[in-house]
Amino acid sequence: MSLKEKMVSSFLAFELDTNINSPVHDIRSESIKDFEKIGFPGKKNEYWKYTPINKVLNDKLTVFKKKRHLIEFEKVKDFFVNGIESYKIVFIDGAYDPLWSNTTHKGVDICILSAILENKKYEGLINKYYNTITDKNESFSLLNSSFSKEGAFVHIPKNMELDKPIEIIHINSGGESSLMLQPRSLIILEKNSKAQILESHYSLVGENNKSPYSYPGFIDPLTNTLTEIHVEENANLDYYKIQNDLETTSLIDNTYINQKRDSEVSCHTFSFGGNIVRNNLNFYQNGENINSIMKGITILGGNQHTDHHTLVHHANPNCESYQEYKGIYNDNSTGVFNGRVLVDKIAQKINAFQQNNNLLVGEKSSVNTKPQLEIFADDVKCSHGCTIGQLDDSALFYLKTRGISEKEAKGLLTYAFANNVLENVKMQALKTKIKKIIANKIGVNLGFEL
Amino acid sequence: MAYTEEELKKELEQQEYQYGFTTEIESETFPVGLNKDIVRKISEKKNEPKWMTDWRLSAFEAWEKMEEPEWPNVKYKKPQFQEISYYSAPKTKAKYDSLDEVDPELLKTFDKLGISIDEQKKLAGVAVDIVMDSVSVATTFKETLSKKGIIFCSISEAIQEHPDLVKKYLGTVVPKKDNFYAALNSAVFSDGSFCYIPKGVKCPMELSTYFRINQAGTGQFERTLVIADEGSYVSYLEGCTAPSRDENQLHAAVVELVALDNAEIKYSTVQNWYPGNKHGKGGVFNFVTKRGICHENSKISWTQVETGSAVTWKYPSCILKGNNSIGEFYSIAVTNNYQQADTGTKMIHLGKNTKSTIISKGISAGKSQNSYRGLVRISNNAENSRNFSQCDSLLMGNNCGAHTFPYIEAKNKTAQIEHEATTSKIGEDQIFYCNQRGIDTEKAIALIVNGFSKEVLNKLPMEFAVEAQKLLEISLEGSVG
């Protein structure tokens, strides 16, 4: 039985286990029907051209988890951002873990999706927002809509500036083979509200950088996550993603962001590892004077692969979008950047900028990039730039003449290359954490205060 | 009184495609449809040797199994391949020894096109091969060239007289199964130009081919093969026009360039096929495969000015196989009314220290769609390869579209690639500045467009640059942003 057939038949068993009176039941059954029609992306699919996703679509993958794993705090404490107060929603292998979570319903809802889906009080919100902006022709989004029942739910009411950041943490314990996880988050920012959200994906690490419970024939988990974000008028969201998985775990991250007038969303994606990591980041601008910012740093090694697909749909006039992605590729790692900017005919006075810079360090590293502009309006300013190259020899030489060792000089230059993406990170503690990860990844002690 | 936008628009509507006339020449046209017999008949007609017939047949077999590509960003009604005639030739004597024997009607046609064969022969010093409805009708300067050992003739002649060269190189750059239209062309191509520059020879004049579709209901399938042997140099020009007809005409050509070690080929095109009328009716479908292969230290430079065709689908490419080879691509694509263009280039870096430059300027006006689609691929072994790409788009009016699809693939860590693209419109301040200095709006636009395209126009040979500049002005008249 192929994985597609298996998924479709699994749905019957899945349905038995869920409440069929739930408002999302129709969405689930329609999604699986649509998925059955299109299946997984084939080899000739243009949107998956450079990412061999079939490599991780093992027939043995299953959406049913058998057991529950408890993890000691020691092992996960580094996954949190140190030194800050925050709301926390923690998932272990896709299941909510109340032990380290810190949720609230006091004036603001920061909790889990499963609780909301079954609660009459939230039915209005679910009908208004749930699964309204996802791509109904995208295999993995459909699959997630069919099987998801757990994830984070955030609802910030009107005129509220959230006091602390929210950390949404997904941890793979690696305690079970062949898991395909389907976490789903719904984030709603009402008018004039403001929030900071950090979403991260980690795996527990055992010996040789493998899963701690790995055995021969062990199939590492594939996470297929979907996040829907609705940002209402004049709201402001600062959103961060950290993807720092094992070299064996894979992640497909679909994010859909719907912005209303005068709103601003900035999304930073820090990709530091994973077997295959695919980010589909989609921005829809439904109103005037909207600003969308996408930034990312990718540092890979080994045989890792990361793919950033971004889409900004400028449907209204007087909006802006800004994209800046930096990639550093060591060893045999490969990277993909596909940025798509779509400007509708009525969307005049758009200012769209797209930049992708890549450093090829590893002998067998490679980069495929495709910054794409589709423009139907004439009074716009759109530009994109893309470079692939190496560290500047003269800069390296300059540092060496100042008595800095080659390794350190390279580290400094690489760090500098990535640094300006970090400039807009407003959460200071997070900035420090990322800087530490980068320094660690580059393998040098930068020798200055982080 | 000031020249208003309205007046400009009116004038534009009256601006007709000036090459839209037809010529009354008796011609021999094959019945419509395509099958093995037609392929055989074309081959027979041309008196071709068996290997050529077999080559065509195998291409036809491959074509039958292929599907028309749908990935280009253009929309059109697909041609009915069984409703096209695949061979049409002016019905006169098979060959001309001198111009005096050429049908006077034909000569008149060329006068109208502005290519006075006689005059060019004397003044411009450009050797011209003229292909009308897929058959080469006249080649000038042959003798002068042959003294240097340069072969410049129609490809059917080359198949007869230089079979070794044709056999060795035909289909090596664009294999007969390369893509749908290349396979179709390989099966049915009726003529085209052939050019061979021997070792160490610098071709003393520009070589030029002029393509003209005349007969109704035919497709034009010509094939060009240019071989520059070691250390040689050639500059090659290509121009095209077609009559205005209500139905769409198909043009599916293949151009192959071979630059052997230390050779240099400069290939320039001014494409001015009938673009259809202002309502998007008629016009030529231009589906062309152009590719060159560079051996060591060699250089291929493509320059194109695309102003015509209803639908263009064309990617002149360079395979940089040899070490230290250089590929260049300079393009201006102008679309107006309902024209659609999906054009760009491919630079495949295989050898070490290879360099490529891409400068693409797209100008869209009216209701047209203009896409740049390019590929830069640095393979594993292409150490120290370098690419610079720049694609700029200019939008005029808010009913047109400009799109960019650059594919960049780097597999070598020593590669250096830079790509930049911008999309903008002609600024009101720019026009205001010109107006202030007494330049009227229309002239100001011409000036700005000219400046926008300068980098590419500069790369054209002189005679062509003047023509191209004029073409740009005509194509864009009245499209004030």
Q: Which of B398, B421, B424 sits opposite A381 (nearest CB)?
A: B424
Instruction: Tell if the CB–CB gap between B420 and A384 is shorter than 8 Å.
Output: yes
What's the CA gap between A330 and B138, in Å, rounded? 59
The DSSP H or E segment spanning A142 is helix A139-147
Residue B239 has pLDDT above 90, yes or no: no
Which pLDDT does position B338 carry in this prediction? Answer: 86
Q: Which of residues 385-444 of A touch B (CB under 8 A)?
A: 385-390
Instruction: Tell if the CB–CB gap between A384 and B395 is shorter than 8 Å.
Output: no
Query: How close are the terminal C-alpha atoms of chain A, in Å?
Result: 52
Instruction: Tell if the CB–CB gap between B410 and A388 is shorter than 8 Å.
Output: yes
Flag whether A407 is in a domain.
yes
Which pLDDT does position A311 carry in this prediction? Answer: 95
Backbone angles phi, psi at B46, to 5 degrees: -90, 0
Interface with chain B: mutation pick from A336, A338, A340, A373, highest number of B CBs within 10 Å: A373
- Tell me what the pLDDT averaged over chain B comes to: 80
Residue B92 has pLDDT above 60, yes or no: no
B462 alpha carbon, distance to own chain's centre: 18
Three-class SS of chain B: CCCCHHHHHHHHHHCCCCCCCCCCCCEEECCECCCHHHHHHHHHHCCCCHHHHHHHHHHHHHHHHCCCCCCCCCCCCCCCHHHCECCEEECCCCCCCCHHHCCHHHHHHHHHCCCCHHHHHHHHCEEEEEEECCEEEEECCHHHHHHCCCEEEEHHHHHHHCHHHHHHHCCCCCCCCCCHHHHHHHHHCCECEEEEECCCCECCCEEEEEEECCCCCEEECEEEEEEECCCCEEEEEEEEECCCCCCEEEECCEEEEEECCCCEEEEEEEECCCCCCCCCCCEEEEEEEEEEEECCCCEEEEEEEECCCCEEEECCEEEECCCCCEEEEEEEEEECCCCEEEECCEEEECCCCCEEEEEEEEEECCCCEEEEEEEEEECCCCCCCEEEEEEEEEECCCCCEEEEEEEEEECCCCCEEEEEEEEEECCHHHHHHHHHCCCCHHHHHHHHHHHHHHHHHCCCCHHHHHHHHHHHHHHHCCCCC
- Chain B closest-CA separation from residue A18 CA (Å): 42
The string of pLDDT tens digits covering residues B312-338 is 888 999 999 999 999 999 998 888 888
Choosing from A231, A256, A286, the residue where a domain stops is A286
Closest by CA position to A291, among listed A326, A271, A267, A310: A267
- Which chain B residues have a beta carbon less than 8 Å from that of A377? 395, 398
Instruction: Tell if the CB–CB gap between B423 and A383 is shorter than 8 Å.
Output: yes
- Measured between CA atoms, the residue of chain B closest to residue A344 is B401
What's the CA gap between B184 and A363, in Å, rounded? 41
Q: Which of A348, A361, A384 sits opposite B421 (nearest CB)?
A: A384
Residue B481 has pLDDT above 50, yes or no: no
B299 pLDDT tier (thresholds 50, 70, 90): very high
Instruction: Tell if the CB–CB gap between A371 and B404 is shorter than 8 Å.
Output: yes
Q: Which of A361, A362, A385 sits opposite B419 (nearest CB)?
A: A385
Query: What is the residue-wise DSSP string for A298-337?
Result: EEE-TT-EEEEEEEEEE-SSS-EEEEEEEEEE-TT-EEEE
Which pLDDT does position B310 carry in this prediction? Answer: 85
β-strands B416-425, A381-389: how paired? antiparallel
Residue B11 has pLDDT above 70, yes or no: no
- Chain B closest-CA separation from residue A337 CA (Å): 10
- Which chain A residues have a beta carbon less than 8 Å from that of B396? 378
Which pLDDT does position B125 carry in this prediction? Answer: 45
pTM for this prediction? 0.85
Which pLDDT does position B124 carry in this prediction? Answer: 42
3-class DSSP assignment, residue A152: strand
Interface with chain B: mutation pick from A344, A375, A391, A414, highest number of B CBs within 10 Å: A375
Which pLDDT does position B94 carry in this prediction? Answer: 42
Q: Does A374 touch chain B (CB under 8 A)?
A: yes
Which pLDDT does position B244 carry in this prediction? Answer: 62
Instruction: Tell if the CB–CB gap between B417 and A376 is shorter than 8 Å.
Output: no
Which pLDDT does position A450 carry in this prediction? Answer: 47
Q: Does B375 touch chain A (CB under 8 A)?
A: no
Q: Does B417 touch chain A (CB under 8 A)?
A: yes
Choosing from A286, A304, A333, the residue where a domain stops is A286
**Buried b / exposed e across B171-198, counting CB within 10 Å, b at 16+?**
bebbebbbbbbbbbbbbbbbbbbbbbbb
Flag whether A368 is in a domain.
no
Interface with chain B: mutation pick from A378, A380, A390, A410, highest number of B CBs within 10 Å: A378
Task: Give B87 or A53, the one with higher predicted confidence.
Answer: A53
Flag whether A55 is in a domain.
yes
Locate the domains of chain B by residue range: 5-338+427-476
Instruction: Tell if the CB–CB gap between A385 and B412 is shorter than 8 Å.
Output: no
Size of interface A-B (CB pairs under 8 A): 116
Flag whether A202 is in a domain.
yes
B289 pLDDT tier (thresholds 50, 70, 90): very high
- Measured between CA atoms, the residue of chain A closest to residue B388 is A387
Structure-token pair, residue A279: 């980010």
Flag whether A384 is in a domain.
no
Q: Which of A345, A367, A375 sits opposite B403 (nearest CB)?
A: A375
Domain count across chain A: 2
Least confident range from A166-170, B27-31, B197-201: namely: B27-31
Residues (pLDDT < 70) of chain A are 445-450
Give the ipTM of the model, two decimals please: 0.82
- Which chain A residues have a beta carbon less than 8 Å from that of B405? 370, 372
Flag whether A306 is in a domain.
no
What's the CA gap between A179 and A172, in Å, rounded? 10
- Chain A closest-CA separation from residue B132 CA (Å): 38
Structure-token pair, residue B405: 């699809």
CA–CA distances in Å: residue B84 to residues A208, B27, B80, B461 = 66, 15, 7, 35
Flag whether A74 is in a domain.
yes
Instruction: Tell if the CB–CB gap between A386 and B414 is shorter than 8 Å.
Output: no
Instruction: Tell if the CB–CB gap between A386 and B71 is shorter than 8 Å.
Output: no
Q: Which of residues 37-66 of A touch B (CB under 8 A)?
A: 46, 50
Q: Which of A50, A372, A389 sits opposite B417 (nearest CB)?
A: A389
Q: Which domain holds residue A444?
A: 392-450
> What angle do helix axes A139-147 and A3-16 make, rounded to 10 degrees?
20
Domain co-membership, A153 together with A281: yes
Task: Judge whether A169 and A90 are in contact, CB under 8 Å.
Answer: yes
What's the CA gap between B156 and B136, in Å, rounded? 9
Structure-token pair, residue B271: 């494409």
Choosing from A257, A286, A315, the residue where a domain stops is A286
Least confident range from A12-26, A321-335, B51-65, B464-478: namely: B464-478
Residue B355 has pLDDT above 60, yes or no: yes
- Chain A closest-CA separation from residue B55 CA (Å): 30
Q: Which of A378, A382, A385 sits opposite B481 (nearest CB)?
A: A378
Which pLDDT does position A248 carry in this prediction? Answer: 85
Residue A224: partners with Cβ closer than 8 Å, 6 or more residues away: A140, A143, A144, A180, A181, A182, A252, A254
Q: Does A379 touch chain B (CB under 8 A)?
A: yes
Burial of B289 (0-12, 13-18, 19+ CB in 10 A): buried
